[in-house]
Structure 1
Amino acid sequence: MIAHIPNESLLGKDEIISRLRNALVEKKPYCLVRIGDGENFVLSQDSVYSMEQTLKQLWVQEANKGRKGIRLPNLPFRDQLVTAIREADIVGILAQNDNVIRAHPNHKRALTNRIFQHFALEPKAVCNAIVNRELVQYQPFWSMLAEQGARVVLVSRWAGGTKQRLIKPPFNLTIPFTLPFERNGMMEDTLRVLEERKDEYDMVLASCGVNAVVLAHQVAVRMGKVGVDFGIGSQIISYMKS
């Protein structure tokens, strides 16, 4: 049961890189998704919280002002998240006593545990949800992608600026195209383009808030590619100093 997973059991960066490399080499679908406080609130709707409780949360109030790429209530999207988590190859969860994500402790791992129990979710493998922040700063991740000749598509509002950094040293990535993504209403059009152009790429790094969970999952199941919920990773890269 997820509530009893100690921090020591979370997959490390090198193991994650190895699994992603294997998926690229074998050209098999694979996805990594991550559950933070935003995902927790989407999942909490009419499950561990009443809808009224969910809508009172500060994150949700900010979301309903157009600042999180999703508006609630949205039960169909909640169910898409549940499916994505159930079928993902690796699920990022916040560590016990996480001090990186700025949210109340009750809204972090404790809430994830309750949600996973409610929906009977038992991930195939788990890692730390902040792995995206770690991989951005971890050269072996970028070296693996470059060595494999992986063609990487970026999906985020920062995609253009991120591409300009990643095609140059020390990253040296091959990026055939990028797609902007700012809100949930862009999901189907984005997936349509990714399907139409699926022969042009091997991996998608999605940095679009809670939407990245569903997008990364769909890249795997619908396109047969590697989908990674890269969270704030794309934004970090775009603002890095040269």
Structure 2
Amino acid sequence: MRKKRKRPAVKSPRSKKTKRTYRQRRVKPAAPVDEHSLPSAKEQSLSEQEIERAGYEKGLYEGGEMLLEQSVPPHMLLPEVQLTEIIAAGVHAYAPQMHPLLDVAAVYEELSQAIDQSRPYAVVRLGDGELLALAQDVVYDSETLQREARFLSYAGVTPPDLAARDQLAMAIRQAQVVGLPRSRQKHFQPLMYPVLRQHGIELGSLRKTSSTINYELHHSGLLAPLLRDRRLLIIGNAAPECAHALQQAGYSVTGIISPVNGFRDIDRIMEQAHQAQFDFALVAAGIPAVILCWRIAAELGKPALDFGHMADAVASGKVQL
């Protein structure tokens, strides 16, 4: 009987070289996950609206109640009182230091008399744009201003423009009435005080009203009688449309100057204003409106109101007089 030959052992296809390759390709284990960095089950289940609401409530707390907590002496507990009551009590304590503002009725009376008597009366208004322009190199350096005030060129000032800054300061000193912001947002009242201080402008030396006086005149029903039976000069980019809307409503527009291309255009605008026949100027020209109102009053002896975005509202029909 023939003996069976032993078959040679078959080598595994996984050679030593292959084993090394497998070892080299072995995936490293994942780093341990920080469970605290993951959103909780509650957070995952929140809708965008709920997340927004939670963020709002957190900001409201940190900007109000938390500050109140930190002001209460240790080992003391406030009585049951609302934050608004605490704020009201604090505001009352500062009443002797407050600056009175001319109300809308007072501004209307003074403007109306100035128009009737054809005497200078400039009502200028300070918003965030004007205050940021005034802040150049006295409160904010160039780098900060570029970061905080990218919209300034749209409003008529392209920083750095220290000549525009200084003209604004001069206009504020000499205007008959200056509208000041009541808003406590970053670039309004908190910026206003250091800006005026750096320019040597004493708040007590100014005749003051609200910076929204242009809107208040309309909402109080006093804008229409202020414009009625007066020859109006409208200045600004929206002047043609605003003038058309006013004429359609029966008002007398005897002059239109448009467009206004920033501070560099002020002298040209004033040359045209010198040629116009009018009783009252409405100026809607961004930051240059402050200078234009002041110069119309100083050079032409006429009343002028910084009309702002009211011109756009009249032009679009949102405001009807």
TM norm structure 2: 0.65
2:152 matched residue in structure 1: 63
2:235 matched residue in structure 1: 155
1:141 matched residue in structure 2: 223
Q: Judge conservation of contact 1:68–1:183 (CA < 8 Å) in 2.
A: no
Summarize deviations over 1:120-162 as a string: whole Å, max 9, x none. 213431111011122234432221331xx32111111111111
1:181 matched residue in structure 2: 259
1:117 matched residue in structure 2: 197
2:309 matched residue in structure 1: 232
Summarize deviations over 1:197-240 as a string: whole Å, max 9, x none. 2xx11111110110100010010111111111111110111112
Q: Judge conservation of contact 2:133–2:157 (CA < 8 Å) in 1.
A: no
- The aligned length equals 220
Question: Are the structure 2 counterparts of residues 34 and 5 from structure 1 closer, same or farther at C-alpha, using a change threshold of 3 Å?
Answer: farther
Cα RMSD of the aligned pairs, angstroms, is 1.7
Rounded to whole Å, the distance in 2 between the matches of 1:62 and 1:150 is 35
Identity in percent: 25
- Tell me whether 1:91 sits opposite 2:181 in the alignment: no
Rounded to whole Å, the distance in 1 between the matches of 2:212 and 2:267 is 27
Secondary structure at 1:106 match in 2? coil
Question: Are the structure 2 counterparts of residues 5 and 90 from structure 1 closer, same or farther at C-alpha, using a change threshold of 3 Å?
Answer: farther
Rounded to whole Å, the distance in 2 between the matches of 1:165 and 1:135 is 18
Rounded to whole Å, the distance in 2 between the matches of 1:132 and 1:62 is 22
Question: Are the structure 2 counterparts of residues 137 and 164 from structure 1 closer, same or farther at C-alpha, using a change threshold of 3 Å?
Answer: farther
Q: Judge conservation of contact 2:182–2:189 (CA < 8 Å) in 1.
A: yes
Q: Judge conservation of contact 2:157–2:164 (CA < 8 Å) in 1.
A: no
Q: Judge conservation of contact 1:207–1:234 (CA < 8 Å) in 2.
A: yes
Structure exhibiting the larger radius of gyration computed from Cα positions: 2
- Tell me whether 1:223 sits opposite 2:297 in the alignment: no
Rounded to whole Å, the distance in 2 between the matches of 1:61 and 1:143 is 38
Q: Which moved more, 1:127-136 or 1:203-212?
A: 127-136
Question: Are the structure 2 counterparts of residues 165 and 82 from structure 1 closer, same or farther at C-alpha, using a change threshold of 3 Å?
Answer: same
For residue 187 of structure 2, what is the amino acid of its counterpart? H
Structure having greater relative contact order (Cα 8 Å, sep ≥ 6)? 1
Q: Mark the runs of 5 or more structure 2 residues left unpaired by the alignment.
A: 1-96
